[in-house]
Amino acid sequence: MTATASHHLVPRLADIRVGEHDLVAAFACLQSCTEGRTKEGRTFMDVKLSDVSGVVGGKIWADTPSALSAARDIGLGAAVKILFEPRAYRGALQLRIVRIRIVSAGDGHSEDALFGAGHRLIADLNFRTMVFDIETVPNTDLRKVPSTIAQAVAKHAQRGDGDDAKIMSLSPLFGKVVSIAMGEGEAIDDPQLPTVLAVPPENSDPTTLPEWIRPMSEPDLLRCFWTLCERTELVVSFNGYGFDVPFLATRSLVHGISVRVDLLSRPFALRPHLDLYRVLTQGSRGLGPASLDVYCWALGFTSPKGEMDGSMVAPTYARGDIETICEYNAGDVAATTAVYRHVREHLLQFRHDW
């Protein structure tokens, strides 16, 4: 691609407008790239691009063969420079991309503008299939909130076992994420240890943590999660629709962090977010107990539940022991990965939508 002096360079994807210029250049993150054919047999590429300002779709057509070839060779999550014509399709913006390439050092692009602040904390991490799980703890002192808020928590707790701390751990409005464990779901021959992004307690020393634990703030943890989701083909969870993703999305809203990947709007779809719980139960509660622990037992896999369980995360965090929480979190990811591979082999590959 030649220098952008002859083309209008849009600083943000959100600034693209239809009809303002014939050809426009921009920097973006390549979020997805899917090849297809029209009914007439015409080859095209569906492309999804993003930066911190938003997400936009595009098409690469067969009449630009060099762009098609280049797109096939570019990995997901890469920073790219594109030349395109802004068009409207069914009332939405769609880019007709005529040139695309990976950015070079002399392009003058901003990685923070593409990937968001904190992306360097996970720059070396790349997943084809990212299996993940989170751990949460209370983050609110009820003695310091308005009485109506404290009463709302107490009233909700009374419906269960009366444990205010448990209610706050399970609510993104009163709790916080202290760890996200993630691993590669496709690494069969060379399995990788899960990596855990963790928020160390104030009374702990993060310098003593092992290398597989990456200490950071909760806002950075959330930014890293959404960045990793952008550059993976598939996100896998166990009950992620019911808990993990809504919790992460709401905590992101609390911190003013953009939720840059839609993992919630299609709860029974297999991509981009595969919730194993939804696949196995289809949302039915009439099948009996259906926890990850139960499925591991039934399928013959090592259960993630040992001396530690979810009720012990908050007191363990209060003691300053983030490493034990991360080990427990990583165990859940290892178990979820085993269930995913079993389900993929014996169920998913026979579904038309897989």
Q: pLDDT digit of tens for each residue in the chain (354 aa)?
A: 444 446 789 999 999 998 767 899 999 999 888 999 999 999 999 999 989 888 899 999 999 999 999 999 998 888 999 999 999 888 889 999 999 999 998 888 888 888 877 788 998 898 999 999 999 999 998 889 999 998 888 888 888 766 888 888 999 999 999 999 999 999 765 556 799 999 999 888 888 999 999 999 999 999 999 989 988 889 999 999 999 999 999 999 999 998 988 999 998 899 999 999 999 998 777 788 899 999 999 999 988 777 788 889 999 999 999 999 999 999 999 999 999 999 999 999 999 999
What is d(CA 303, CA 313) in angstroms, rounded to the nearest whole number? 17
Residue 138, preceding peptide bond in cis (omega within 30° of 0) = no
HSE toward the beta carbon, residue 161, CA cutoff 13 A: 5
CA distance 226 to 207: 25
β-pair type (175-184, 195-198): antiparallel
pLDDT reported for residue 83 = 96
Supply the pLDDT for residue 6. 60
Are 255 and 216 in contact by the 8 Å Cβ rule? The answer is: no
Q: How far is CA 76 from CA 60, 276, 285, in A?
A: 16, 24, 37
* Residue 308 DSSP symbol: -
The contacts of residue 84 (CB under 8 Å, 6+ apart) are 23, 24, 25, 26, 58, 95, 96, 97, 98
pLDDT tens per residue across span 16-42: 998 767 899 999 999 888 999 999 999
Residue 253 to residue 343: CA distance in whole angstroms: 33
Strand, helix or coil at 351? coil
User: For residue 258, which of 56, 84, 52, 80 has the smallest C-alpha distance?
Assistant: 52
Residues whose CB is less than 8 angstroms from the CB of residue 212 and which lie 6 or more positions away in sequence, other chains included: 193, 194, 195, 196, 330
Q: In what order do the strands lie in the sheet with 195-198?
A: 213-215, 195-198, 175-184, 129-138, 234-237, 273-275
Report pTM.
0.83
Residue 79 near residue 29 (C-beta atoms within 8 A): yes
Contact present, 95 and 84 (Cβ < 8 Å): yes
At residue 206, what are phi and psi to the nearest 5 degrees?
A: -70, -15
Q: Helices (DSSP H) in the chain: which residue ranges?
A: 65-73, 111-115, 147-158, 164-169, 218-230, 245-255, 276-281, 292-299, 313-318, 322-346
